[in-house]
Amino acid sequence: MRSMPIVPKFLQGTVNPILKKIVRSTLYTTRYNNSLDIRLNETYLRYQRYCSAQYASRHGLQDFGESRIRTHSAQIFPKVMPADKARQYSSVISGFIENNKELVKIDDKHSSLLKTIKHPLQTMGTDYLEIFKNPALHQALLAFFHGDYRLEWVSAFRTLPSTHIASSWNWHTDANPPYSCKVFLHLTSATAETGATDFMTPADTAAYRRAGYFGDQYGSERMGDQGIQEFAKKHNLPYRPFHFDVSAGDVSLFNQNFLHRAVAPRTGYRDVMEFFLLPNPVPWDEQLAKDGIDSAQLRVPLYPKNPRRA
């Protein structure tokens, strides 16, 4: 596909609204499930095809079956890690928050909502990566990627009770490239009372987009629960979010480019290990051994323009 011409600065005020309209069209979001630049999207699609071909060259053509995070946006895998081991990791987070504040990142925008542990692959070890050897989770990831995948980054965080709502606590899509997804390892239980994430189905996400609500990187348009319900009523849309009640040691897998929102616990707190995954030509553990754990440190931007690694 031919690359899009660079737009001179003096024309960008006119062209940007036009580009925004294009990338939010039904045709565009059906193909890419985001509103990112077409060049980046096509780069990721080509890369995924390359990774899938590499997998097929080693294993033969595979029928991976349906990917539920494409058809349902999210799924749950119970008891991937023993509950007592998951709670031990939660205790480690508590220890950092109480006694090692230099390992805890708190930004002003989310200070009442979230505490993040710095570089958990260094500070919390790597044993929890064994979850990716769980057969059911691994098969679901193969079905989504049509081949191998890698850990692009790993984070650990605690969400807290708060009446303040900002960014991801509004209804949004992450606007990440195609063939990317997230895995949550739950270190504590989570319910509607204690901060379980809310999701919308792909069909409902598409309906909201057709009505003009995207919740994408144009973040000023994101709405909270009251706003989105008023939007749904105005446009005669269904409002039927769903969540999973999870226990410590459960894993949830979801496609972050469908509508979802973080939910502040009403009581207690919620601890999660978060993994952002991209396609890869070799298995995740082989890639991590080659690149080292620093390669999977949370960083900005959250994904590379070129997903290929040397």
User: Average pLDDT in the 63-75 region?
Assistant: 96
Position 1 in a domain: no
Position 143 in a domain: yes
Q: Range of 267's domain?
A: 9-296
The confidence band for 10, taking pLDDT boundaries of 50, 70 and 90, is very low
Position 304 in a domain: no
Position 283 in a domain: yes
Number of domains in the chain: 1
The CATH code of the domain that includes 224 is 2.60.120.620
Position 303 in a domain: no
Answer whether residue 79 shows pLDDT above 60: yes
Q: String of b and e for 150-171 (b: at least 16 CB within 10 Å)?
A: bbbbbbbbbbbeeeebbebbbb
| Predicted TM-score of the model (pTM) | 0.92
User: Average pLDDT in the 5-12 region?
Assistant: 42
CA dist 267 and 253 (Å) reads: 24
Answer whether residue 219 shows pLDDT above 70: no
Average pLDDT, the chain: 92
Position 109 in a domain: yes
- 69 closest CA partner among 283, 297, 284, 277: 277
Q: How many CA atoms lie within 13 A of 225 on its CB side?
A: 13
Predicted confidence (pLDDT) per residue in 166-204, tens digit = 889 999 999 999 999 999 999 999 999 999 999 999 999
Position 3 in a domain: no
Predicted confidence (pLDDT) per residue in 40-61, tens digit = 999 999 999 999 999 999 999 9
Instruction: Give me the amino acid identity at 192.
Output: A
Position 200 in a domain: yes
Answer whether residue 251 shows pLDDT above 70: yes
**pLDDT value for 4:** 41
Answer whether residue 3 shows pLDDT above 60: no
